[in-house]
Amino acid sequence: MAKIRILAAIVINALWTDEASGKTLPKFVTDELHGYMSCGILGRGFAHLYCKTYREYHAVAFSCKTRAVCPSCLGRRMSEGALNLVDHILPDVPIRQFVLTLPFCADAIR
Ligand SMILES: [Zn+2]
């Protein structure tokens, strides 16, 4: 998995680097890519946790916590947002979601 991430970052960097003019990706993009490359890799840092129930030690790798590239961190952020909505914001009543789509000709009404 780590090799795929590194290869993806190299390819993206190469595609967006214009050596003739010296233009490269913006720093915030390369920071996101570097964060994604090190996300969840034990060799880049981890926390050592102990489970009292099962009496086992676990090594949990640090996450990148980026907002655009890493699907793992995006999924975690999305789950936390949904949990916050359910626990703190939405009232405890049945909720139904509707999606309204209009035909293309109705778009001309605006
Ligand atoms: Zn991540």
Q: Does residue 52 surpass a pLDDT of 80? A: yes
Q: What letter would DSSP give residue 87?
A: I
Neighbours of ion ligand 1 (CB under 5 A): 39, 63-64, 70, 72-73
Q: Domain for residue 97, yes or no?
A: no
- Indicate the pLDDT class of residue 110, thresholds 50, 70 and 90: low
pLDDT value for 108: 65
Residue given tokens 């936390």 in the structure block: 80
Number of domains in the chain: 1
pLDDT value for 1: 59
Instruction: Calculate how far, in angstroms, residue 56's C-alpha sits from the geometric centre of ligand 1.
Output: 25
Q: How far apart are CA 40 and CA 100, in angstroms?
A: 40
Q: Does residue 13 surpass a pLDDT of 80? A: no
Q: How far apart are CA 1 and CA 70, in angstroms?
A: 13
Q: Domain for residue 48, yes or no?
A: yes
Q: What is the identity of the amino acid at 5?
A: R
Main-chain phi, psi angles of 56, to 5 degrees:
-130, 150
Instruction: Calculate how far, in angstroms, residue 26's C-alpha sits from the geometric centre of ligand 1.
Output: 19
- Indicate the pLDDT class of residue 26, thresholds 50, 70 and 90: confident
Instruction: Calculate how far, in angstroms, residue 39's C-alpha sits from the geometric centre of ligand 1.
Output: 5
- Enclosing domain of residue 67: 1-76
pLDDT value for 36: 85
